[in-house]
Amino acid sequence: MEYHCRMAIPILRVARPSDNLDQLLSFYEHGLGLSVLSRFRDHDGFDGIILGKPDYPYHLEFTHARRHSVGRAPTKDHLLVFYIPEVDVWQGAVQRMRNAGFEPVTSFNPYWDRQGVTFEDPDGYRIVFQQGQ
């Protein structure tokens, strides 16, 4: 008898600290188009927000430890890259960021500027909308 176990697709959660939860919320919710999935306050001294979409296999979690500063991104090459194959969907994503008040920045690695557009969040971390797969 052979047993097959089907594992549900795990959700990838990228978590990082921030000093700017409210500003990040605007960038990732209004600019990137994610939804607030959860929020917490003073959970063992941490505040946080979890963003994503209910049917997406990833979440972004941002936390702030009270009375602790984390500063900005260590380099301009810390990226989250979103590959968007459909040109019209890619253009819409770029325009949504601009409509939310965020302007593109030149990528540290020129590769990302060839078929992509880079934006920097309030902490100095960057996202790239890459047109393609």
Report the predicted TM-score, pTM, of the whole model to 2 decimal places: 0.89
CATH top-level class for 12-65?
alpha beta
Query: Which residues, including other chains, have CB under 8 Å from residue 37's CB and lie 6 or more apart?
Result: 50, 51, 52, 54, 59
pLDDT digits (tens, 9 = 90+) for 105-132: 999 999 999 999 999 999 999 999 999 9
Q: Is the domain 79-131 a CATH 3.90.550.10 member?
A: no
Residue boundaries of the structural domains of the chain? 12-65, 79-131
**What token pair was written down for 101?**
């008040």
pLDDT digits (tens, 9 = 90+) for 19-69: 999 999 999 999 999 999 999 999 999 999 999 998 999 999 999 998 899
